[in-house]
Structure 1
Amino acid sequence: MTKQRPTILITNDDGITAPGIKVLIELMRQLGDIVVVAPDSPQSGMGHAVTIAKPLRLDKVDIYEGVEMYQCSGTPVDCVKLAVNKVLHKKPDLLVSGINHGYNSSINVIYSGTMSAAMEGAIEGIPSVGFSLGDFRQDADFEATRPFVLDVAKQILANGLPAGTLLNVNFPPVKDIKGLKVCRQAIAKWEEEFDERIDPNGRRYFWLTGKFALNDKGEDTDEYALNEGFASVVPVHFDFTSYNAIPTLKNWNFNV
């Protein structure tokens, strides 16, 4: 009996024509039967947003020969929901998201549309992974990431993932990646500033700027691994409960 090829759902937040998703398409075709459902325009920084106040459009497109592809007018999470419910009519064996232009390491995982698409997959019980490269340029070179993306996907297909867990994989923008390191998420934050400007009509507007503040000196973090030239692999889960805080809160004397 011929073993059935796995079904792999591909999505992203940079849009269906982004260079990073092309790399995933080329790689995942080696591993299974692929379906692509991705935003029709860039959706970076959308986090886990869903569209509830306007209709969603889902159109089949012909971009790469022999690839079933759909562009969605909504967010990355919308793409996953529509893919499962209206395109595949089943849960795929693997969901891959990316490859994102720019890191989604440390605190960036919260804001990331790339990782929220993967998280939605995990919520649906689909083994899911998000891939990101620390290079925002449109002509970013993804070549060095290829063997690592393929290896991670193979490992997930072979071994599965713990329930409720997805993987956040980030690559440094170097030609020779030293290897993969399983890490924890570094403790960091963005220190925002807002550049105040005036538009041609004399109206005030703001442009978000700021700097990334990393105060975590641990050598077991994703940021440390990336700075050392390794790809970081962080297991992420969507249960936000702070379990170590529960005993403290139970000792509070609530007055209602």
Structure 2
Amino acid sequence: MKKPLILVTNDDGINAPGIRTLIDIVKELGEIVVVAPDSPQSAMGHAITVNDTLQIHKIESDNTQITEYMCSGTPADCVKIAKNEILKVKPDLCVSGINHGANSSINILYSGTMSAAIEAGIEGIPSIGFSLADFSWKADFEQIRPFVKKIIEEVLSNNLPDGVILNVNFPKLKREEIKGIKICRQARAKYQEKFDKRVSPFGKEYYWLSGEFVNEDKGEDTDEWALKNGYISIVPVQFDLTAHHAIQQLNTWNL
């Protein structure tokens, strides 16, 4: 049987340990093409490049099983240019990550990792975003390898519902400490932000964004609950942001 064509991307940059681990996992599962940012693009959300040029450079490698490109743009740019200029065909799967740091709850809106996966979903490509709740560059991704592989195999075997992308988050635990996988909903959580106001040596004011993550959701069916209690969380997400439940109410207004 023909091997599936798998697109690999991320937001931490093509040299990040997370994506190198992901590449090593999926190389056994299909034909691999990597298109990832040439520098870190965390918290870029779904930004795309429209007022500047994009550049892609093929990376020479002795591994003929894997083709790699680095792109000067955002994670969403990487998926767009991969499909339209590099591959010229729709891949069978897109995997994004493994991100250094969790992308649970509201973080999905800011995440470049998940935006790349969502961009693939918009193009009709089954896609998964993977994140580990460890921001360290030296995060131990070896602990989650079998889980990543199993989830990818299941998606390849069963496919995904149309318009659905998987947001997968791993707790920072040893392999044997992970209790299992929970299919969850996105927790209702947000950041209580503040800006640290400072003055440069030249007398100009500038601000440094900081704040605290606050989980307002007490449910035990959320991604935040799963991660806190030792489970891998999988949240099926969609790019249709319509609040369908509100349509009937709005139709009662005198508009």
> TM-score, normalising length from structure 2?
0.97
Which deviations, in whole Å up to 9, do the C-alpha atoms of 1:154-185 show, x marking residues without a partner? 00100000000000000001113221110111
Task: Give deviations 1:136-165, integer Å, cap 9, x for gaps.
Answer: 111010111101110110001000000000
Task: Give the deviation of 1:63 after TM superposition.
Answer: 5.8
Question: What secondary structure sits across from 1:252 in the alignment?
Answer: coil
Aligned to 2:59: 61
CA contact (8 A) 1:189 1:214 kept: yes
1:61–1:69: 8 Å Cα contact kept in structure 2? yes
Q: Report the alpha carbon displacement of residue 62 of structure 1 after superposing the two structures with TM.
A: 2.9
Partner SS state of residue 139, structure 1: coil
Q: Does 1:241 align with 2:249?
A: no
Q: Deviations over 1:197-250 (max 9, x none)?
A: 111211110000000010100000000000011100000000000011101110
Contact 1:177 1:231 in 2 (8 A): yes
For structure 1, which segment, 196-205 or 30-39, has the greater mean C-alpha deviation from structure 2 after superposition? Answer: 196-205
Counterpart residue identity of residue 114, structure 1: T
Q: Distance in 2 between matches of 1:82 and 1:220?
A: 37
Q: Which amino acid aligns with 2:36?
A: A
Q: Deviations over 1:71-125 (max 9, x none)?
A: 0000000000000011111110010000001110000000000000000010000
Q: Determine the structure 1 residue equivalent to 2:218.
A: 217
Q: What's the counterpart of residue 198 of structure 1?
A: 199
Kept in 2: contact 1:97–1:117 (CA 8 A):
yes
Gaps of 5+ in 1: none
Residues 44-55 of structure 1 mapped to structure 2, 5 A cutoff: 44-55=42-53
Alignment of 1:75-154 (within 5 A): 75-154=74-153
* TM-score, normalised with respect to structure 1: 0.97
1:65 is displaced (CA, Å) by 3.2
Q: Distance in 2 between matches of 1:244 and 1:5?
A: 41
What is the Cα-based RMSD across aligned positions, in Å? 0.9
CA distance in 2, matches of 1:169, 1:179: 13
* Structure 2 segments unaligned to the other structure (5+ residues): none
User: Is the Cα contact below 8 Å between 1:132 and 1:169 reproduced in 2?
Assistant: yes
CA distance in 2, matches of 1:28, 1:202: 51
Identity among equivalent pairs (%) = 59
Q: 1:185-204 CA distances to partner (integer Å, 9 max, x unpaired)?
A: 10001111000011121111
In the alignment, what sits opposite 1:188? 189
Contact 1:144 1:177 in 2 (8 A): no
1:99 touches 1:131 (CA, 8 Å); kept in 2? yes
- State the match for 1:155 in structure 2: 154
Q: How far 1:64 sits from its partner (Å)?
A: 7.0
Q: Could you tell which deviates more after superposition, 193-202 or 59-68?
A: 59-68
String of CA shifts for 1:45-80, please: whole Å, max 9, x gaps: 011100000100011013673321000000000000
